[in-house]
Amino acid sequence: MLALTSIWTTILLAAAVALAPMAIDMYLPAFPQIGTDFGANTAQVQLTLSIYIGGFALAQLICGPLADRFGRKPIMIGGMLIFALASIGCALATNIEMLQLFRFLQALGGSAGPVLARAIVRDVYTPRDAAKILAMLAGMMALAPAIAPTLGGFIVAIFDWHWIFIVMAAYALIMVAVIAFGIPEPLRPENRQPFRMCSLLRNYRLVSTDPTFIGYALTSAAVYGGLFAYLSGSAFVLIEVLGVAPEHFGLYNAVTAAGYLIGNIASIRLASRYTPDQILRYGLLGGLVSGAIMAALAYGQLYSPWAVVLPQAAVMASLGMILPQSMAGALANFPKMAGSASALLGFTQMAAAAAAGALVGHLHDGTPLVMATIITACAALALFAYLFLVQRYPAQDFEAQSANS
């Protein structure tokens, strides 16, 4: 078995977390084809994404406490097995309602990877070191949104969308074997929490009423909302509105993923010279400016793929700086309840993502305008949460007030 602090374990955790963006990004190029096959409109197809995000959010609330009680490995393995079976169900769906149902079941299993990977990092590392590891993990994970849409586009062009879900099922089964035999159980017996309703509610009450957690979680959730506004709307905007071929859709996504990777690398490099608070602040300001540029171009009716993709790449670079700091800050105060804290953080992120994605699908007007406006609004909300909550209640021994930076 691998040592928990080895780079290979970090790579393995990144591969586990990548299951979530794979389930989201790989089938985006197939949106138009799914709509045609099932006779479904834009909102119905987009709902398959929002349902996944909603199910993902709800499942985390149970997944985290279960992992605090029984350990990280068995829950992660069980979740991935559920994900694999639901993926096969998606591939066999005969109407849009069946696809929506199996996407929900897919989300129930898929939540285990991201929630428990974050919890494992908190099990093993201090809050400051956890921010660096989460940044490394997110940087490696950035390969998923770069590769997945490209692979999905080629699968759609050569075969059809059903095979996308077969590939997802195969990936999940491989991860089951690797996790089962590749890493030891990271949760120490003395840190296990009882899985009783009263204990579960008590833990969630402690986490959800902690002002430090609230500040970092809302900051993270707002930028997640902007990310999923783009993911929900980009296929329709780029393919249907701006004429990008489905097999080329992933190449444009690779540009935005490169922005995310650049932001992650910057976060790691800057950690030795700047406080987490400063990195978070610069990322939030950069995200707001980048989103505003995209919105301004859309309001000016400059309709081009690059008028969407290049500003979004800059937004993604800001996310690469924001997310590791905000996630590590949210978990910093809960070393013995990392599973529950990670679950509640994930729920908050995914609830914001589902709301933003549904809003984009409902308001889509055949232009990039709605998507760009929602991305900018989410960036503004994230900065608001940072200024009024994070700076007032920073995580001890992790964040520094800007006045002391």
Q: How confident is the model at residue 270 (pLDDT cuts 50, 70, 90)?
A: confident
DSSP state for residue 187 in the 8-state scheme: S
Q: What is the mean pLDDT of the chain?
A: 85
- pLDDT greater than 90 at residue 11: no
What percent of the chain is modeled with pLDDT above 70?
93
Q: Is the pLDDT of residue 401 over 50?
A: no
Number of CB atoms found within 10 A of residue 306's CB: 13
CA distances from 353 to 75, 178, 231, 283, 285 (A): 24, 30, 10, 19, 20
Task: Tell me the CA end-to-end span of the chain in Å, nearest whole number.
Answer: 41
User: Which one is predicted more confidently, 392 or 67?
Assistant: 392
Cα–Cα distance for residue pair 337/208, rounded to 1 Å = 12
Cα gap 60→54, rounded to integer Å:
10
User: What's the pLDDT at 240?
Assistant: 83
47-51, 114-118, 135-139: range with highest mean pLDDT: 47-51
Distance CA 92, CA 115 (A): 28
Pairwise CA distance, residues 300 & 311, whole Å = 15
- Which pLDDT belongs to residue 405? 41
What pLDDT does 65 receive? Answer: 79
What per-residue confidence (pLDDT) applies to 123? Answer: 79
Are 376 and 230 a contacting pair, CB within 8 Å?
A: no
Higher pLDDT, 339 or 327: 327
Closest C-alpha to 60, from 343, 379, 405? 343
The packing angle between helices 7-17 and 112-124, to 10°, is 150
pTM: 0.75
Asked whether the predicted pLDDT for residue 336 surpasses 80, the reply is: no
Mean pLDDT across the stretch 265-280? 86
Give yes or no for residue 166 having a pLDDT over 90. Answer: yes
| Of 183 and 385, more confident | 385
Instruction: Kindly tell me if the per-residue pLDDT of 404 is higher than 60.
Output: no
Greater pLDDT, 139 or 344: 344
Judged against a pLDDT cut of 80, whether residue 33 lies above it is answered with yes
The mean-pLDDT minimum among 88-92, 130-134, 361-365 falls in 130-134
- CATH fold of 7-188+196-395 reads Growth Hormone; Chain: A; (1.20.1250)
Q: Angle at Cα 352 formed by Cα 268 and Cα 78, nearest 5°?
A: 75
Eight-class DSSP state of 95: S
Higher pLDDT among residues 122 and 287, named by residue:
287
User: What Rg value do the Cα atoms of the chain yield, rounded?
Assistant: 20
- Model confidence band, residue 285 (pLDDT cutoffs 50, 70, 90): very high
**DSSP symbols for 364-391:** --SSSHHHHHHHHHHHHHHHHHIIIIIT
Length of the chain: 405
Whether the predicted pLDDT of 192 surpasses 80: no
